[in-house]
Structure 1
Amino acid sequence: MSNRPPAVAGADGAPAPGAGEQRLNRGFSFRSAFSLAFADVSPIVALYAIFTLGLFTAGPAFFWAFPIVLAGQLLIALVFGEMASRWPFAGSVYQWARHVRGASWGWAAAWAYAWGLTIALSTLAYGASGFLLEALGVEAPSRTQTAGTALAILAIGSLANMIGRKVLKVMVIASILCEIAGSLGLSAYLLLFHRVNPVSVLFDGFGTQGAGSWLGGPMLIAIAFVGWSFVGFESAGSIAEEVENPERNVPKAIILALLAVAALVMFSSVAIILSIPDLGRVMAEQTGDPVTYTLTSHLGEAVGRPLLLMFVIGFVSSFLAVQAAVSRCLWGSARDHALPGSRRLARLAGPERLPVNAIALTALVAGVLILVAGSELYGVLVNFTTMGFQISFAIPVVGALIARLRGTWRPGAFSLGRWGTPVTLLAALWAIAQTVNIAWPRASMGQEWYLRWSMVLTTGVLTAVGAVVFLAVRSRMREPLAERLAAASDIAAVPGQASPVAAGPSVAGEPAQP
């Protein structure tokens, strides 16, 4: 779907539809796409980042937020699978929203997605640096030490993403094996030999509801927290152009990655809850880290360093996958001239033709954010991470629902059939409800008013800035890629006319080479 007439060559010399389209090289199999999405979610990060918040907010019964959020996110994953099958192009939510509803919808999804993931890059690098320094025996590291280590992790990770797909695949798969062995092995060991609490505690809120309703208060907050755990599965769609047979492999990777991570996270969560020593005291004091406390209590202090290294591996693998996803979103947007500096951001470099400029931009912005880590501004920005994901999820899902209700939806190789419309409707309702739930200002987010309203404030500011940027680039945005490729095919069908696609990929602003 396009909001504009067919594009022509722009002032910056970019090719018009039919003049040659740059495409990313194939280099990922189904296993690679699944691994990337699995690493993006990262069971270790997904659980460790929210376990303490969920436990202290809603008691051990916060566990039931996991299946609730999983059900909602699975609906979104199914809709994403259908859209990835129709439009297997670099950029996931940007491409899906752009093709199903037009330029403004796609741009809004890309803007929220890019900011949410780039902020996440800084938090992942910063979190990994803290665990790494502690594992190395650095006691009470200074802010300078932590930030310096985070910048080093950022630089090394970005370089790995720039070198080539083989390096990324090896690092992601190796880290996944460590994560699975660590998470699954430790959890099984705890359940078999160190369970100290009855299963009934999984239904106990430990008085967290106060004078109000537990379901209407603490549980809704827990659902908002758990929303962070089950995002990232869409990253398989960000690398769709690089996946073999993407129309079938990418939808499977999106859905299976979500289910695999969810199963591992919920199993680990149950194991930890049932193994927490003196659970009543932990809930009463609500201090410290229940995960580390549980593991060291049962396994001794010797488990500390391996545990910290496992956290480092989890955070770094998630970093690599997140950066791969957001860089493809930026590159796909730049290919459509949807960003300032599109000509540079759309360039591909190296023997594997990777979007190194887009990767470098994410590293630069994340590096600046690391330098302000620990400040009040950083705390406000970090709160937008989950919000950015939810907004970028809601936009294409609602767009798909509108297309179905108008009768303009056409299925791809992966289709939900007659269940498509009800699933898309439920997914849209869930996406909207969860977005409101996450944004809702609550005292649990901090005493300062700007922390409670941080989701609304950051969304408002970024929306205002984004509107200005969008108006600046809108006039030179190109048609959706699917329409340009269709136009290229039509030209190729004319006798004596060479196919612009067959001529090989080109760099924006440069002619394709024969």
Structure 2
Amino acid sequence: MARHADVQEGANGPDEGKLLRELTLSSTFSLAFAFISPIVALYSIFGLGLADVGPAFWWGLIIAMAGQFLVALVFAMLVSRFPLEGSLYQWSKHLIGPRDGWFAGWTYICTLTITMAAVALGGASFLAQLLGLDPESRLVSVFLALGLIAFVTWGNTSGRRMFAAIVWLCIAAEVIGSVGVGVLLLVEFQVNPLSYILPGADLFDSVGTGLDGFFSSKAALAIAYCGWAFLGFESAGAVAEEVKHPERAVPRAMLLCMAAVGSVVAFSCLSLILAIPSLPMADGTDPVAGILVHHLGPLAYRGMLVLFVIGFLACMLGIQASVSRVIWAFGRDRQLPRADWLCRLSGSDQLPVNAILLTGALSTTLFLLSFTNLYPILLNFTISGFYIAFAFPLVAASLHVLNGQWRNGPFSLGRLSAPLICVATAWVLFETLNIAWPRYPNIPWYENWAVLLMVSFLGVVGGLLQLRMRRNVAPLTGAGLQAGRPS
């Protein structure tokens, strides 16, 4: 395995400065934990799962968590071999080459940018309730979302100490809002027995297409929804060159994050389901709000709104930190326009401030689309976008296994590594198809086929952009391509 010091020296150009290794295992874990955000992960899907599947959608969380933990194990092995800034982009680039690695990173950048805008709108809804404003007003939501983006951009550009302080404050709020409230609901306000979550025969009924097969069932829909809850653990690898001893620290951070977030989300979801006062709830009622107001009262719910907003801020901080590092890595490799500007490091903390500002600007411009019919297409693409980006390094790793070229790095599972890679790849491909499945012919066709439309559009745009960069920039060779490869 190549020494990490050599990896950084070979990857950094002479003019961009050097990233500072100031992050530890705990701070890397906190970044990934903030990205996933149990509050955002759960409350973004709880109402959908309850309405479309029923209480048994909880089992979708268990299945999705198990599948994503397999992915986390593979990614932990990949980052231990290639501890480079940019995560999916770097791993794919070194396994299958610059062109396919470019598309992996391009897909990931687009997905994270759209996700940041979507999370900002979700947080704006809770913030509007907290401020006594109309959460249904599009103007109010967009205005507040822009404020949230401005705040997290300030937090990400104010230095690592400020960023760490904000993230740990957010994690404390997450624990109170998820674990604390979950314990309170189970101890004081459990209404339903544990058998309430047992799946019934209707779990395999069609959810709207009238088509036969597993992908049209409620069970498949539950797994598709819950696939959103465990995305972001890979963000620990996006900052690998800022972490001390990344070959060991980053894999541990990924796996600890998945275990912690998975446990919190599953527990919190269970406590909410067992505290549901009645089914179905009133039309238009947010089930989380309904449960909390019913048991805790309006005043306590307003206190919970503070925790919800903080949770959404934490998620946005983690998303922006991750996507800015991928963009910075692209700039360092001269794979995007204005590369010199994108890969510039600023301040005493040597942060990629320009890349961070760009992510804030891109997410802001997406709000212009929130007044059009294009926005639902973007939202429907976000979950599948993660899995499509995941598929690049996983498929590449599987091909290395099948060709006998796979080599374990400092972190591995020994002989189990090869079969684990193949199983994790199968899971990601399954979930990608599951999420993209056109289940609802009654909705506008462009929403039903949003994933295919966005993949086609981003593929064309990305192809044109890459063609331009290949004409203007010499391809990666030598140390730039070999950095991070096992010797």
Q: Same fold (TM over 0.5)?
A: yes
**Which residue of 445, 453, 456 corresponds with 2:452?**
456
**Which residue of 406, 426, 429 corresponds with 1:432?**
429
Q: Letter of the aligned partner of 1:479 in structure 2?
A: T
Identity of aligned residues (%): 42
Q: Which residue of 2 aligns with 1:404?
A: 401
Higher alpha-carbon Rg:
1
**Which residue of 144, 147, 157 corresponds with 1:149?**
144
Using the TM superposition, give the Cα deviation of residue 454 of structure 1 relative to its aligned residue in structure 2, in angstroms: 0.7
Q: Which residue of 2 aligns with 1:325?
A: 322
**Which residue of 447, 453, 462 corresponds with 1:466?**
462
**Which residue of 457, 477, 480 corresponds with 1:479?**
477
Range with greater deviation from structure 2 (372-381 or 448-457) = 372-381
**Which residue of 407, 413, 417 corresponds with 1:416?**
413
**Which residue of 71, 75, 83 corresponds with 2:70?**
75
Distance 1:345 1:432 in 2: 32
**Which residue of 305, 313, 316 corresponds with 2:302?**
305
What pairs with 1:70-469 in structure 2 (closer than 5 Å)? 70-139=65-134, 142-205=137-200, 207=202, 210=205, 217-279=217-279, 281-282=280-281, 287-443=284-440, 447-469=443-465
- Secondary structure, aligned partner of 1:168: helix
Range with greater deviation from structure 2 (292-301 or 22-31) = 22-31
5+ long unaligned stretches in structure 1: 1-14, 491-514
Distance 1:299 1:18 in 2: 57
CA deviation profile, 1:392-446 (whole Å, cap 9, x unmatched): 11110111111122222222211121001100000111111111111111118x6
CA deviation profile, 1:104-158 (whole Å, cap 9, x unmatched): 2211110110000000111122222221121012245632232122112111211
Q: Letter of the aligned partner of 2:93 in structure 1?
A: R
CA deviation profile, 1:339-361 (whole Å, cap 9, x unmatched): 12212111111111111111111
Distance 2:288 2:238 in 1: 33
Using the TM superposition, give the Cα deviation of residue 234 of structure 1 relative to its aligned residue in structure 2, in angstroms: 0.2
Residues 486 and 467 of structure 1, relative CA distance in 2, 3 Å threshold = closer
Residues 27 and 403 of structure 1, relative CA distance in 2, 3 Å threshold = same
Residues 59 and 24 of structure 1, relative CA distance in 2, 3 Å threshold = same
Using the TM superposition, give the Cα deviation of residue 222 of structure 1 relative to its aligned residue in structure 2, in angstroms: 1.1
Distance 2:13 2:164 in 1: 33
- Secondary structure, aligned partner of 1:227: helix
Distance 2:366 2:13 in 1: 40
CA deviation profile, 1:227-264 (whole Å, cap 9, x unmatched): 11100000000011001110000001111101110100
Distance 2:433 2:404 in 1: 28
Distance 1:483 1:121 in 2: 30
Contact 1:42/1:315 (8 A) holds in 2: yes
CA deviation profile, 1:161-191 (whole Å, cap 9, x unmatched): 1121111111111100111122111111111
Range with greater deviation from structure 2 (113-122 or 334-343) = 334-343
Q: Letter of the aligned partner of 1:348 in structure 2?
A: L
Q: Which residue of 2 aligns with 1:40?
A: 35
Range with greater deviation from structure 2 (20-29 or 292-301) = 20-29
Contact 2:327/2:342 (8 A) holds in 1: yes
Using the TM superposition, give the Cα deviation of residue 478 of structure 1 relative to its aligned residue in structure 2, in angstroms: 2.3
Aligned residues: 470
Using the TM superposition, give the Cα deviation of residue 286 of structure 1 relative to its aligned residue in structure 2, in angstroms: 6.1
Contact 1:58/1:209 (8 A) holds in 2: no
- Secondary structure, aligned partner of 1:28: coil
Contact 1:101/1:399 (8 A) holds in 2: yes
Q: Letter of the aligned partner of 2:32 in structure 1?
A: A
Q: Letter of the aligned partner of 1:427 in structure 2?
A: A
Range with greater deviation from structure 2 (345-354 or 241-250) = 345-354
Contact 1:41/1:231 (8 A) holds in 2: yes
Distance 1:395 1:215 in 2: 23
Distance 1:208 1:397 in 2: 30
Distance 1:213 1:286 in 2: 30
Distance 1:435 1:16 in 2: 32
Distance 2:426 2:375 in 1: 31
5+ long unaligned stretches in structure 2: 1-9, 207-211
Using the TM superposition, give the Cα deviation of residue 450 of structure 1 relative to its aligned residue in structure 2, in angstroms: 0.9
- State the TM-score, normalizing by the size of structure 1: 0.87
CA deviation profile, 1:283-333 (whole Å, cap 9, x unmatched): xx6642111111111111112211111110010000000000000001011
CA deviation profile, 1:438-464 (whole Å, cap 9, x unmatched): 1111118x6111111111111111111
Distance 2:477 2:124 in 1: 42
Distance 2:348 2:14 in 1: 23
Distance 2:201 2:364 in 1: 41
RMSD: 2.3
Residues 404 and 218 of structure 1, relative CA distance in 2, 3 Å threshold = same
Using the TM superposition, give the Cα deviation of residue 93 of structure 1 relative to its aligned residue in structure 2, in angstroms: 0.3
- Secondary structure, aligned partner of 2:228: coil
Distance 1:74 1:50 in 2: 19
Contact 1:121/1:319 (8 A) holds in 2: yes
Distance 1:56 1:454 in 2: 22
Residues 481 and 38 of structure 1, relative CA distance in 2, 3 Å threshold = farther
Q: Letter of the aligned partner of 1:335 in structure 2?
A: R
